[in-house]
Amino acid sequence: MKKITTCVFFSLIVITSLSAQSRSFQAFRDKFSGAENVHHFSTNGFFARAILWMTTADEFDNAIKSIRSISLMTVPKSLFREREVSVSGFKTVLSDDSFDELGRVRDHGDHVTLYMKTTQSKNNRYIFLIEEPGEVVLIEMTGYIDPRILLDNSSFSFSDKQKI
Amino acid sequence: MKKLIAAAGLMMVMTGAFAQDAISKFFSKYQTDESFSQVVVSSKMFGLFTNMEAETAEDKEVLDAISKLKGLRILHKEDARNARALYKEAFTLIPVKDYEELMSVRDKDKDMKFLIKESGGKISELLMIMGGNEQFMVLSLFGEIDLKQVSRIGKKMDVKGLEHLDKMDKKD
């Protein structure tokens, strides 16, 4: 009985996490899932907030209270060439999926672009597309992030420490 | 005649689009140069600040000012031996005659110029060009700009250099 309960519990987590993903994220996942050196992680609710709480600075505490789900996927750049797809092609997918670009930063070889899709009140979708020299990282969050946090503390911060 | 008017209209639209931010030429010239850092913030981001609640009246003024911005572009190079040359180049590539000089700052290791574009009594673009011994930066902020709030916006976004505008406000 314990096994069944555990299976149902984790299946529910997986199903709700997957359903929390946008069409764009699903397309990205379907393209690369299962390949070597591709890592995928997805969770929601309390787990998502707990992970963000553990991995971010104190000033983000308020911002992450309204995050409902988080999905992350890392893909080696070589796989893009192998599958004959490109990051700019994926940006078109995002645009077709009604994601708007909030901003982008290029710094020391890393390219970070932040997208947002407004669905309902305070239930937005945020996508961080991070292009590093060797891999591409895609992070999707659903919920609400205070715009002041996005502007104050994200990669769009320009202090000397951040080299801009 | 209709074609001529349509062509003139198209020309005006295109000129407006290209004149939207003066550092487009810099962006196109250095967009593939990885030694430059670039930041672009879209109008969508600034639009998120529309009708946001604020704790104080001062915060409300800043949020309102942010919500009226249409974009921000920054091009920055650090550890640049040619920073002074880039500073000079900026004044050749940017159509400076379209701007009015607001303020210039010179200290021992850098020069800064603040330029504005005004139309209909409103400031539509603020340009900051900075060239130092090792650093170069061009910043273009466009939209409806409230100069009194720019230094506060700079603090909020942690954009170095804009705090100089605060001094100008105090002089007034």
Give the tens place of pLDDT for each residue, A58-106: 656 666 678 888 899 999 999 999 999 999 999 999 999 999 999 999 9
ipTM: 0.77
Sequence-distant (6+) residues with CB within 8 A of A117 are A22, A97, A98, A99, A100, A124, A125, A127
| Nearest CB partner across the interface for B156, out of A101, A107, A152 | A152
User: Is A147 in Cβ contact with B52 (below 8 Å)?
Assistant: yes
- B160 contacts in A (CB within 8 Å)? 158-160
Q: What single string gives the DSSP state of each residue in chain A?
A: -HHHHHHHHHHHHHHHHHHTS-HHHHHHHHHHTTSTT-EEEEEEHHHHHHHHHHHS-GGGHHHHTTEEEEEEEEEEHHHHHHTT--HHHHHHHHHHTTPEEEEEEEETTEEEEEEEEEEETTEEEEEEEEE-SSEEEEEEEEE---HHHHHHHSTT---GGGT-
- A163 contacts in B (CB within 8 Å)? 37, 76, 78
Give the tens place of pLDDT for each residue, A40-50: 988 876 666 66
Task: Give pLDDT, residue B10.
Answer: 42
Give the tens place of pLDDT for each residue, A114-125: 999 987 667 899
User: Is A104 in Cβ contact with B38 (below 8 Å)?
Assistant: yes
Q: Give the chain B residue nearest A122 (alpha carbons).
A: B48
Stretch B123-132: mean pLDDT: 92
Task: Give pLDDT, residue B157.
Answer: 75
Task: State phi, psi for B102 to the nearest 5 degrees.
Answer: -95, -45
- For residues B58 and A117, the model is more confident at A117
User: Is B45 in Cβ contact with A164 (below 8 Å)?
Assistant: no
Task: Give pLDDT, residue A52.
Answer: 66
Q: Which of A4-13, B6-15, B135-144 has the lowest mean pLDDT?
A: B6-15
Could you tell me the two tokens for B139?
Answer: 């910043």
- A109 contacts in B (CB within 8 Å)? 34
Task: Give pLDDT, residue B119.
Answer: 81
